Amino acid sequence: ETIRTEAGDGRSLYTGTVPLNTTLSGGAYQLKDPSRGNTYTGDAENETDLCFLIWCFSRAPATLFTDADNHWGSGTTSDRATVAVDAQFGTDMTWDFYKNVFGRIGIAGDGKGSFNRVHYGDGYANAFWDDSCFCMTYGDGDGVQLGPLTSLDVAAHEMSHGVTSSTANLTYSGESGGLNEATSDIMAAAVEFYANNGGDVGDYLVGEEVALPGLGRAALRFMDRPSRDGNSADSWSSSTKNLDVHYSSGVANHFYYLLSEGSGAKTINGVSYDSPTSNGSTITGIGRDAATRIWYRALTTYMTSSTNYQGARTATLSAAADLYGAGSTQYSTVAAAWSAVNVT
Ligand code: ASN
Ligand code: ZN
């Protein structure tokens, strides 16, 4: 039987109506995309132990979403398919970004699609990538601080953990853990700008769509000045390694913002930023595209599981030299942006 890719669409929770490629099987459409490695989205049915639902050789899949007319979701949480639309679209954009920008096909670079399970647990306020199932899991949030975790930047953040696992494999603790987390935030911002979609255009905020008033701030993390979240580091110190990895990531997130956009105040897509430097320098950014290419090359060519902040400086300088030359503005700005976050 030949599997055809069917063109459908979905009403998402966070990003308007989006195109979706699906599969027609036995008269029903499946939320499964043959054009992107058969990546699919299923319903975890509010369970956390999913094994019993079907079988349990390793980790049971969720129940694949199906639809009669290939128009998915309502755009509100009143139906279970809406957040599945967000999750599937997030996977689509992340797939397209890595493929079209870096020539990387799939999270592991082998053409294999991952899958998503949504509605995991009850009030679960997180999302995570799991290498062992090659899958993404999304909670619906607690409804007070966080809504469903299915925004595009969260999707791209989590799937980029899979990219890191299959490349530098940065150990998830200490400074390497901060670099692992920052890689996910950096790629999440890059995917959001790449998708440039409807109401969710690109920004240097992480999780602004999922943040509810009860969180008390506009986003989970802020790359222009990471300390805006009350916990993250703006620049490196000898105690950076002792921070939670979601806070030690601030040093590299800040580096990436400075490298892309430069220091000082700036408004991009209607969002205002004000990025300081720790050494009083003024940085002129080299643009997001070059900054992202430098980070990706450093991640996939020079970083290893034990790379620390000093090593990240060296790795990104090597990457900038490869891509733009050791005498380039890009190279000297990498050096200046690291110095501006006290990685000297
Ligand atoms: N959402 C968290 C993160 O990706 C969960 C985790 O895997 N640590 O950082
Ligand atoms: Zn993460």
pLDDT digits (tens, 9 = 90+) for 235-255: 999 999 999 999 999 999 999
Instruction: Given the cut 0.90, state whether the ipTM is greater than it.
Output: yes
pLDDT at 2: 59
In short, whether 127's Cβ falls inside 6 Å of ligand 1 is: yes
pLDDT at 133: 86
In short, whether 93's Cβ falls inside 6 Å of ligand 1 is: no
Ligand 2 mean position, distance from CA 119 (Å): 19
Q: What is the pLDDT of residues 47-60, one digit of tens each?
A: 886 554 455 544 45
Give percent above pLDDT 90 in the chain.
90
Sign of the C-alpha dihedral, residues 316, 320, 322, 325?
negative
Confidence of residue 132 (pLDDT cuts 50, 70, 90): confident
Confidence of residue 182 (pLDDT cuts 50, 70, 90): very high
Query: What stretch of H or E contains 41?
Result: strand 39-43
In short, whether 172's Cβ falls inside 6 Å of ligand 1 is: no
The arithmetic mean of pLDDT across residues 301-313, rounded, is 98
pLDDT at 47: 84
- Hey, whose CA ends up nearest to atom 7 of ligand 1? 128
pLDDT at 262: 98
Q: What is the pLDDT of residues 5-31, one digit of tens each?
A: 899 999 999 999 999 999 999 899 999
Radius of gyration of the chain (CA): 20
158 labelled catalytic:
yes
Q: How many CB atoms lie within 10 A of CB 27?
A: 7
pLDDT at 62: 82
Ligand 1 mean position, distance from CA 116 (Å): 15
Q: What is the pLDDT of residues 93-121, one digit of tens each?
A: 999 999 999 999 999 999 999 999 999 99
**Bridge partners (DSSP) listed for residue 326:** none
Ligand in nearest proximity to the CA of 127: 1
Confidence of residue 312 (pLDDT cuts 50, 70, 90): very high
**With contact defined as beta carbons under 8 Å apart, do 146 and 154 qualify?**
no
Identity of residue 153: D
Catalytic residue among 119, 157, 246, 254: 246
161 labelled catalytic:
no
The 8-class DSSP code of residue 112 comes to: -
In this predicted structure, the answer to whether residue 181 has a pLDDT above a threshold of 60 is: yes
- Hey, whose CA ends up nearest to atom 6 of ligand 1? 128
Mean pLDDT score across all residues of the chain? 95
Secondary structure of residue 214 in the 3-state scheme: helix
Ligand in nearest proximity to the CA of 149: 1
In short, whether 156's Cβ falls inside 6 Å of ligand 1 is: no
In this predicted structure, the answer to whether residue 157 has a pLDDT above a threshold of 50 is: yes
Q: Which atom belonging to ligand 1 lies closest to the Cα atom of 245? A: 9
- Hey, whose CA ends up nearest to atom 5 of ligand 1? 128
Tell how many helices (H) and how many strands (E) occur in the chain: 8, 15
Catalytic residue among 119, 158, 208, 209: 158
The 8-class DSSP code of residue 302 comes to: I
Q: Which residue has the higher pLDDT, 303 or 50?
A: 303
In short, whether 126's Cβ falls inside 6 Å of ligand 1 is: yes
Query: What stretch of H or E contains 19?
Result: strand 17-25
Identity of residue 190: A
pLDDT at 53: 47
In short, whether 31's Cβ falls inside 6 Å of ligand 1 is: no
The arithmetic mean of pLDDT across residues 303-309, rounded, is 98
The arithmetic mean of pLDDT across residues 38-42, rounded, is 96
pLDDT at 130: 92
Q: Which atom belonging to ligand 1 lies closest to the Cα atom of 184? A: 4
